[in-house]
Amino acid sequence: MPDILIQAKGLKKQYDSRNVVNGVSITVHEKEILAIIGPNGAGKSTTIEMMLGIRKQDEGEVGYWVHDYRKSIGAQLQATPFFPGLTAIENLNLFAAFYKRKLPKQKAVELLTLCGLSEVVKTEASKLSGGQQKRLAIAVALVHDPKVVFLDEPTSALDPKSRREIHQLILDLNRKGTTVVFTSHDMDEVTKLSYRVIMIDQGMVIAEGTVKALCQKHGVQNLEELYLQLTMGEN
Amino acid sequence: MMTILKTMIVTSLRDKITLFYSIIFPIGLLIGLGYYFNNDAYTPKLLTGVIALSSLFWGVSGIAFQVHGQRSRGVYQLLKLTPFPVIGFIFLMTAARTILGIVINLVVLFTGTLFFNVAINLGQVLALLGMMFIGILCFTCLGFLISNFAHNEGQISIISNLLFMPMIFGTDTFYSLHSAPGWVVKMGELFPLGYYVHGLRSALGTSNMSFTGSVMILVIFTFVLLLLSAVTFNQEGKGQIRLKKVMRNPDHVA
């Protein structure tokens, strides 16, 4: 088993007396692609934000493989964070500066090209399409060559071509040794990309394992059937 | 640090609406009113009033919209994930805007001296620079505070205008308050603009109020506004929501 990079134990979070995350434990292993799936409002994003340390949990703890983990983790959150008034490449340079890195122009262009933004390098970020902004957010997440990257619904609202490009990007990153944790509602995408799946519903982990093992265990043909069985069965 | 500072200057310079209200509008106002009144005694008052107005628009509105835009796009949330402290970023953003604000004020000042032959010596320029620095810093802190309470851009405009009205009309920024009702004067004294205007005029030697006194009052305003901004600052722009929740559920207060 590869080394453990992140270990979240018993995470709990309440909003307005509502348990959004209710005792979630997740382990992220080195060089894996881990998919976190579940219905809308299941607590996936909140769990990720707590694992990233940008939202404080009410209970539980998160352990990292290094003390200053922030230098080695990248994240694309559901919001598309960029600075209005700056171009795509200027945004990238600014975020590199936050990591105390100077991004050579060639590397910045390469990164934007990798994310399918080669034609909009000098376009103001606020004028990019929704899909392009999402890809810029992914480029921002990769600006410091992180060891682990979290992608929160990286392909939602993207056209099939862009989606395929992001899939390839995730696979390429992983091939180079980057650990990827992503959330998605697309079960085909999860089946295609992930080594391991964690299914969350109502703030709790309801299934965990490889797609094949989970399907065998529950006697279903594919991940979508399993998802419907487990999430609808509870309602 | 320098990359961040430079980028903040660039992003501020691309904010065309704020630049219009901070440069074009004040200069237009200065030239228009200056030629209309054509009065040598009034010109220095008009010039300092216009510089103060430019500082106010640049400091308050500019930063409030900028912070709101960054916050609503999740920039601060993502910043928390980087090793760069959010407070450090805010400091650099404030520094960039203060530097630019002073440059903008100097452009207005230069226009005034050029069009209306206002004579200024080096000592007065240095005193003006000091006053501009503390004034813009103070208004920037006020802008931060407004952005912490506003839920959207419309609310930023409403809150800013609510504060601008008593500041502009309750002080002698453009006209004398000799005949104004006492409550109007008192209202103006609650805000920093009047002290800033008097500080600028003291620097030019056209006000009886002490320069040091104005500086001290503005430092106190800046400190209080900075403290309030820091206390109410949140990364996700939910300050107003939190207030509503507290008001709906009095047990929270207890």
Residue A119, Cβ neighbours under 10 Å: how many?
10
Q: CB neighbours (10 Å) of residue B85?
A: 12
The A-side interface with B (CB below 8 A) comprises 16, 49, 52-54, 68, 70-71, 73-75, 77, 79-86, 90, 93-100, 102, 140
Of the partner residues A16, A81, A84, the one whose CB lies closest to the CB of residue B78? A81
Say which residue, A173 or B22, is predicted with more confidence.
A173
Under the banding of pLDDT at 50, 70 and 90, the label for residue A8 is: very high
Q: What percentage of chain B reaches a pLDDT higher than 90?
A: 35
Q: Closest approach of chain B CAs to the CA of A104, in angstroms?
A: 13
Encode pLDDT of B3-18 as tens digits: 888 888 888 888 788 7
Predicted confidence (pLDDT) at residue A47 exceeds the cutoff of 90: yes
Q: A70, B7: Cβ pair inside 8 Å?
A: no
Total Cβ atoms within 10 A of residue B158: 13
Which pLDDT value is given to residue A161? Answer: 86
Domain boundaries defined on chain B: 2-252
CA distance B234 to chain A (A): 12
CB contact under 8 Å between A99 and B75, yes or no, is: no
Q: Report the share of chain A in percent with pLDDT over 70.
A: 98
pLDDT at residue B237, rounded to an integer: 52
| Neighboring chain B residues of A71 at a CB cutoff of 8 Å | 83
Q: What is the pLDDT of residues B71-125, one digit of tens each?
A: 888 888 888 888 888 888 888 888 888 998 999 999 999 988 888 888 889 999 9
How confident is residue A142, by pLDDT bands cut at 50, 70 and 90?
Answer: very high
Give the whole-number percent of chain B exceeding pLDDT 70.
92
Specify the pLDDT at position A139.
93
What's residue A185's pLDDT? Answer: 92
Query: What is the distance between the alpha carbons of residues B177 and B186, in angstroms, rounded to a whole number?
Result: 11
Beta-bridge partner residues of A19: A14
Query: What is residue B244's predicted lDDT score, i.e. its pLDDT?
Result: 38
User: Which of A221, A168, A212 minimizes the C-alpha distance to A191?
Assistant: A212
Strands A59-64 vs A148-152: parallel, antiparallel or unpaired: unpaired
- HSE toward the beta carbon, residue A180, CA cutoff 13 A: 29
Buried b (16+ CB within 10 A) or exposed e, B40-69: eebbbbbbbbbbbbbbbbbbbbbbbbbbbb
Instruction: Provide the pLDDT for residue A2.
Output: 58
In contact, B15 and A87? CB cutoff 8 Å: no
pLDDT at A9: 94
SS3 at position A75 = strand
Amino acid (one-letter) located at B63:
I
pLDDT computed for residue B128 by the predictor: 94
Task: Summarize pLDDT for B196-249 with one digit per residue, the tens.
Answer: 999 999 998 888 888 999 999 999 999 999 999 888 877 665 544 343 343 344
**Cα gap A130→A222, rounded to integer Å:** 31
Q: What is the CA radius of gyration of chain A?
A: 18
Q: What is the pLDDT of residues A143-156, one digit of tens each?
A: 999 999 999 999 98
End-to-end CA distance of chain A: 36
Per the CB < 8 Å rule, is A80 touching B77?
no
Q: B172, B197 in Cβ contact below 8 A?
A: yes
| pLDDT for the residue numbered A1 | 53
A98–B7: do the CB atoms touch at under 8 Å? no
Q: What is the mean pLDDT of residues B117-141?
A: 92
As given in the structure block, the two tokens for residue B123 are 């000592």
Buried-exposed string A101-117: b where 16+ CB fall within 10 A, e elsewhere = bebeeeebbebbebbbb
Contact B74 A71 (CB under 8 A): no
- What is the rounded average pLDDT of the residues A201-222? 92
Return the percentage of chain A with pLDDT > 90, whole number: 66
Nearest to A97 among B4, B12, B74 (CB): B4
* Inter-chain CB proximity A85 and B10 less than 8 Å: yes
- Enumerate residues 6+ apart whose C-beta is below 8 A from B45: B172, B174, B201, B206
Contacts of B70 in chain A (CB under 8 A): 83-84
pLDDT digits (tens, 9 = 90+) for B21-64: 788 888 898 899 888 888 888 888 899 999 999 999 989 988 89
CA distance B51 to B128: 10
Interface predicted TM-score of the whole assembly (ipTM), two decimals? 0.80
Summarised one tens digit per residue, pLDDT across range A11-32 is 999 988 888 999 999 999 999 9
What part of B 39-98 touches A (C-beta under 8 Å)? 66, 69-70, 73-75, 77-84, 89
- B253 pLDDT tier (thresholds 50, 70, 90): very low
Distance between CA B82 and CA A94 in Å, rounded? 12
Closest CA to A134 of A176, A197, A188, A88: A88
Taking 80 as the threshold, does the pLDDT of residue A134 lie above it?
yes
Mean pLDDT of A36-65: 92
Check if B3 contacts A (Cβ < 8 Å): yes
- What is the β-pairing status of strands A73-76 and A148-152? parallel
Residue A63: per-residue pLDDT: 93
Please answer whether residues B101 and B141 qualify as being in contact, where contact means their C-beta atoms are separated by less than 8 angstroms.
no
In terms of pTM, does the model score above 0.95? no
Determine the pLDDT at residue A212: 93
Residue B3 · residue A94 · CB < 8 Å: yes
In 3-state terms, what secondary structure has residue A50? helix
Q: For the segment B145-174, what is each residue's pLDDT rounded down to a tens digit? A: 999 888 888 999 999 999 999 899 888 888
B73/A100 CB distance under 8 A: no
pLDDT of residue A188: 93
Q: How far is B210 from chain A (nearest CA, A)?
A: 41
- Are A99 and B69 a contacting pair at CB < 8 A? no
Is the CB of residue B2 less than 8 Å from the CB of residue A97? no
pLDDT of residue B24: 86
Cβ–Cβ contacts within 10 Å for residue A78, how many?
16
